[in-house]
């Protein structure tokens, strides 16, 4: 599981902050590898050049999946009106350029964009998965908006109304959440019940009192509860915790990126046999009592 240092802008990883995270391939029947970069806004504001650079680095590292942090699309915070004006459809130029990088380097890429709302309202904070041919395979609109600690995400974006269906890839069945979704265990449980063995959370997790501890604890808790792999890919920068990480089905930290302002491309190998092993030894899904939960 090599840790590849990236530039000082936003980075991709299978897990890092703001960076991308990459998954590397396993031998037959065994591990796949995600690469999350932990990235910060590039000095020249050329986000797409940064995406291309990390995609090339992830390909060189042998990754299969590259995951970028939340708020990738714009290097700096926009006002609500500016965000609405700048949002794009899923087939817009930003998504097309990221898809072209995926196809060029033979990677699956998960990234976020601000998706234009056809009803003319606030845009959606949307996670997109493109395959290694550049085709869109999934879209997830963030359901839980961060209205806390002086932030009001709902002033800037509209919430989604559905969880993401499982994304079947050649190397895993992928689940998607975005940042604040991590605090809602129902979200991850729904993904696990639907068959996901890796759940990724692109994030721009703000730093603050105990926020760094919450980030790691929640990622590991979601992995333990659902006996699957969980990757958190956080933005880098002074306001964010960084520290992207991948946790295994027993909650063990497989790899962790640097904190805060440091960028990195982090790679981890995901061995899906460990999901089956964890669930055989501790069959919580067989012991669930959904008749009591509603």
**Which positions are annotated as active-site residues?**
70, 142, 179
- Write out the two tokens for 16: 């890092």
- Write out the two tokens for 271: 């061995």
Compute the CA torsion angle 280, 15, 113, 44 (nearest 10 deg). Answer: -170
Q: Which of 201, 264, 208, 205 is nearest to 233 (CA)?
A: 201
Sheet containing 229-234: which strands, arranged edge to edge?
A: 167-168, 173-176, 198-203, 229-234, 245-247, 253-256
233 close to 36: Cβ distance less than 8 angstroms: yes
Residue whose entry in the numeric block shows the structure tokens 């030894």: 281
How far apart CA 109 and CA 99 sit, in angstroms, is: 8
Q: Which of 188, 180, 187, 185 is nearest to 144 (CA)?
A: 180
Contacts of 288 (CB under 8 A, 6+ apart): none
The kind and range of the H/E element at 127 are strand 124-130
Beta bridge partners of 229: 198
How far apart CA 15 and CA 21 sit, in angstroms, is: 4
Compute the CA torsion angle 119, 123, 128, 134 (nearest 10 deg). Answer: 70
């Amino acid at each position: 599981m090599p840790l590849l240092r990236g530039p000082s802008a936003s980075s991709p990883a299978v897990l890092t902050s703001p960076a991308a995270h990459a998954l590397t391939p396993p031998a037959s029947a065994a591990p796949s590898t995600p690469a999350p970069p932990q990235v910060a806004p590039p000095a020249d504001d050329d986000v797409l050049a940064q995406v291309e650079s990390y995609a090339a680095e992830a390909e060189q590292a042998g990754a299969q999946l590259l995951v970028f942090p939340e708020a990738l699309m714009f290097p700096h915070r926009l006002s609500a009106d500016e965000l609405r004006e700048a949002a794009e459809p899923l087939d817009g130029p930003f998504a097309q350029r990221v898809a072209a990088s995926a196809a060029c380097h033979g990677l699956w890429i998960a990234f976020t964009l601000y998706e234009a709302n056809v009803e003319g309202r606030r845009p959606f904070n949307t996670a997109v998965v493109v395959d290694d041919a550049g085709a869109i395979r999934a879209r997830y609109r963030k359901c839980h908006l961060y209205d806390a600690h002086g932030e009001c995400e709902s002033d800037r974006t509209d919430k989604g109304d559905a969880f993401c269906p499982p994304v079947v890839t050649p190397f895993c069945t992928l689940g998607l959440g975005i940042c604040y979704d991590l605090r809602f265990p129902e979200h991850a449980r729904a993904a696990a019940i639907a068959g996901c063995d890796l759940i990724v959370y692109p994030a721009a997790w703000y730093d603050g009192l105990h926020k760094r501890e919450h980030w790691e604890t929640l990622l590991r808790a979601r992995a333990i509860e659902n006996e699957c792999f969980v990757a958190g890919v956080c933005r880098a920068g002074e306001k964010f915790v960084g520290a992207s990480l991948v946790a295994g089905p027993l909650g063990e930290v497989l790899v962790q990126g640097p904190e805060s302002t440091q960028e990195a491309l982090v790679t981890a190998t995901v061995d899906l046999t460990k999901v089956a092993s964890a669930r055989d030894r501790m069959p919580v899904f067989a012991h669930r009592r959904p008749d009591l939960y509603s």
